[in-house]
């Protein structure tokens, strides 16, 4: 892997590293409206390569948006570099098994070290990462917000408007995203 060429950079703002496949291209497009998005193909990604690539781009800190099985890598990264990884967005994550143990044996021990704020999204129709898994992430991670996306099977590629709205809000405001800041007036 070449740390200088594996990133596709677009947008301006706080840096957000996306490990997302083509199915999430529309979501990444939305993110570029508010953030500097550094997109890295998820295949064969390893922690050291990602950190080297980030360093090559001069990133001191960044947030991570990942999908499916890449949740393992993202959580390991957040555990190992708590000063670097500011926030995590896990789209339909596949890091934990149904019995709440991690697919990667080492991750189980690392999870308590994840201090970053996490937003974990699950589609209510998802069979691979079913909503019943959501509670496991909430209990395993110190600062995890659990979000169910109604009528979605895969949160990386479906219900773009709903997913991007909450992901953007979380990345911008972190914990404060719990507080509604929309104008509720019907008429001026």
Partner 1 sequence: MKSALFSTCKYHGPSVGAGWPVTGRVYSHEHAMDSMQQSLDQFRIADEVGFDWVTVAEHHFAPFSLTPNPLIMAGALTQVVKRAKIALLGSDIPILNPVRVAEEMAMLDTMSGGRVVAGMLRGTANEYVTYNINPAESRGRFEEALLLIKMAWTETEPFGWQGRYYEYRTISLWPRPVQKPHPKIYMSGSSPESAEFAAKNRIGLGFAVTNVPLAKKALTYFRAQASEDGWEPEPDDVIYRLGVHCAESDDQALEDLNEATKGAPKVSLTMSNRALEGAIASTGYYGRDMESQRQRLMPADLKTRIENGQILLGSPDTIVKQIENIKRELDCGVLDFTVAHQMGAKTNRSIELLGEKVVPRIANW
Q: Which is nearer to partner 1, 5 or 180 (CB)?
A: 180
Instruction: Output the six-digit token pair for 135.
Output: 């509670």
Q: Is 163 in the site for partner 1 (CB under 8 A)?
A: yes
Q: Which is nearer to partner 1, 48 or 165 (CB)?
A: 165
**Three state DSSP letters for the chain:** CCCCCCCEEECCCCEEEEECCHHHHHHHHHHCCCCEEEECCCCCCCHHHHHHHHHHCCCCCEEEEEEHHHHHHHHHHHHHCCCCEEEEEEECCCCECCCCCECCHHHHHHHHHCCCEEEEEEECCCCCCCHHHHHHHHHHCCCEEEEEECCCCCCCCCCHHHHHHHHHHHHHHHHHHHCCCCCCCCCC
Interaction residues for partner 1, span 132-161 (CB under 8 A)? 134-135, 138-139, 145-151, 159
Q: Which is nearer to partner 1, 22 or 124 (CB)?
A: 124
Q: Is 180 in the site for partner 1 (CB under 8 A)?
A: yes
For residue 147, the minimal CB distance to partner 1 (Å) is: 4
For residue 54, the minimal CB distance to partner 1 (Å) is: 29
Report the Cα–Cα distance between both ends of the chain, in Å, rounded: 55
Q: Is 33 in the site for partner 1 (CB under 8 A)?
A: no
Q: Which is nearer to partner 1, 26 or 166 (CB)?
A: 166
* Site pattern 77..116 for partner 1 (x: CB under 8 A): ----------------------------------------
Q: Where does this chain bind partner 1 (CB under 8 A)?
A: 121, 124, 131, 134-135, 138-139, 145-151, 159, 162-163, 165-166, 177-180
């Amino acid at each position: 892997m070449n740390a200088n060429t594996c990133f596709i950079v677009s947008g301006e703002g706080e840096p957000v590293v996306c490990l997302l496949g083509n199915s999430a291209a529309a979501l990444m497009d939305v993110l570029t409206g508010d953030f500097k998005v550094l997109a890295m193909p998820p295949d064969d990604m390893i922690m050291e390569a990602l950190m080297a690539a980030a360093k090559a781009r001069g990133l001191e800190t960044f947030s991570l948006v990942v999908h499916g099985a890449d949740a393992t890598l993202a959580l390991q990264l957040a555990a190992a570099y708590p000063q670097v990884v500011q926030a995590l967005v896990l789209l339909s994550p596949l890091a934990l098994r149904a019995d709440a143990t991690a697919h990667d044996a080492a991750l189980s021990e690392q999870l308590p070290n994840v201090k970053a704020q996490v937003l974990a999204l699950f589609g209510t129709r998802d069979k691979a990462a079913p909503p019943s898994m959501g509670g496991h992430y909430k209990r395993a991670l110190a600062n995890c917000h659990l979000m169910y996306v109604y009528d979605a099977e895969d949160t990386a590629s479906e219900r773009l408007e709903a997913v991007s709205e909450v992901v953007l809000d979380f990345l911008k405001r972190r914990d404060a995203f719990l507080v509604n800041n929309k104008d509720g007036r019907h008429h001026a």
